[in-house]
Structure 1
């Protein structure tokens, strides 16, 4: 526990490496994470998905289709397509994401080339489906977690959001469905449906890697006794509480609004605490993508 606490409190982004003042320990960790993520992704694609004659979503899905149809290596087609879309849509990425993405694209293609012959043949196609989704989700999750991207449909989705006002997640789903549908030209319906299952597994694993073991929830509470609830949250759940000033639009009554960020595992306990002390309290639970700073989180 002491080692974990010490690592958590260490500011790796502040530690400079002697050979380059701009290259910090955190940068080195991020580069190594991209390398590990790229190989996990490549193992998922080559060792399980292609070995089981399955497909994928996104640009790697197109690469797999080209491999099945024309024998074009996935490493080559993935590299070309991703660099082309990066050139077209580079302005949709921040400077940091752009730098890491430029490194990620050739790294994933290199990993795909190295692992090209690492195919695991099994008699049970569900093994390929589950473990393919698992490795791909872990790989992409690690890459995204440090602020990089795999370009591809991520950039297309951001472009669709910019010009067509389409939600990014819906755009990603739309592009993946197009790729999977095209996959019917080289795969059977059963293989395509198994690919959908692998995609679902990859998405869940990716979310787990990005959010961590204890994703956060933000809770807004409007109560007739905010001081009592704030004290209980602070002493029983050991979380800090922010009190915001508010008033009812219709009643014009002044109200204190409680705002607290907790671990997802503590949510049910918080709900029980609120219900036991003010069953008329108005409670809104929000998903939290990221939390910065300590503040008793």
Structure 2
């Protein structure tokens, strides 16, 4: 592996290590001490801990090894390599934090009254960890591998497969923990999903403007001059008028939405604007990898 490829690999691997460390910490600091649970394979490891006292680090490794090997064979090495990194690092950090807790170096957060606080912090921690892992192309294995295989072979939606898996595992948890803990778990899962979305999309969320006007060139010039944003003029033909005109396309940050709208209106109050969410922008003026 040459220096350039090694550097690119490390730039992706290090955030995955950080994300799995945060995720493992959230499981052992907030989830397990308060008898909450999770979905997917992580939920199975937690149930094994509650029911049989099996270490989550051990069960995570044992369950994910065959899934990883099947995924490697069916999905290909290039696609699943960062999943292997995620599985290995999650296993390591679960072991490390368990070891630190057993030695008394970390005292988990336990509560007998304010479970909503535990749920909120669990959701934020797990969501932050998974959000970082997902953003850099990794996973923590488990149901994600199953979902990818079923999507590849049968065209099933990955989101639906993961949702069904989570529902089954959380439902199975009723045999091990009280129903009120399940409800608190759902709070944590909801918060985690929002944090994941924010980390994956929110940090670089922007808006794309498509502006249809008879004064497209003047609008484009004004945006370029006043906002220092790149603008594209796209040739188009009006379906009713059959006349050719240019459509203005421009991407701006969320903070610039109102300013751009006012600039357009100052040139053409009758301009037709379509504004779309953009969840990731790369290039000059935005994120550059």
- In the superposition, the TM-score normalised over structure 1's length comes to 0.82
**Paired residue total:** 278
Q: Does 1:33 align with 2:15?
A: yes
Distance apart, 1:219 and its partner CA = 2.5
Alignment partner of 1:156 out of 142, 146, 149: 146
**2:204 and 2:280 in contact (8 A); partners too:** no
Distance apart, 1:212 and its partner CA = 5.2
Distance apart, 1:292 and its partner CA = 3.1
Distance apart, 1:47 and its partner CA = 0.5
Question: Where do residues 1-297 of structure 1 align in structure 2 (5 Å cutoff)?
Answer: 21=3, 24-90=6-72, 95-116=77-98, 117=101, 118=106, 119-123=108-112, 124-211=114-201, 213-294=203-284, 296-297=285-286
**1:58 and 1:175 in contact (8 A); partners too:** yes
Secondary structure at the counterpart of residue 111 of structure 1: helix
Relative distance call for 1:77 and 1:282 in structure 2 (3 A) is: farther
What CA deviation, in whole Å up to 9, does each residue of 1:216-254 have, x standing for no partner?
332322223212322232233321111111223444322
The separation in 2 between residues aligned to 1:234 and 1:180, in whole angstroms, is: 53
**2:229 and 2:250 in contact (8 A); partners too:** yes
The separation in 2 between residues aligned to 1:90 and 1:284, in whole angstroms, is: 43
Relative distance call for 1:276 and 1:175 in structure 2 (3 A) is: farther
Secondary structure at the counterpart of residue 57 of structure 2: helix
- Structure 2: which 5+ runs fail to align? none
Relative distance call for 1:293 and 1:65 in structure 2 (3 A) is: same
- Structure 1: which 5+ runs fail to align? 1-15
Aligned-residue RMSD, C-alpha: 2.6
Distance apart, 1:149 and its partner CA = 1.8
**1:214 and 1:265 in contact (8 A); partners too:** no
Query: Which range is displaced more, 239-248 or 159-168?
Result: 159-168
The separation in 2 between residues aligned to 1:268 and 1:51, in whole angstroms, is: 47
- In the superposition, the TM-score normalised over structure 2's length comes to 0.84
The separation in 2 between residues aligned to 1:160 and 1:276, in whole angstroms, is: 52
Secondary structure at the counterpart of residue 252 of structure 1: coil
The separation in 1 between residues aligned to 2:154 and 2:93, in whole angstroms, is: 35
Secondary structure at the counterpart of residue 191 of structure 1: helix
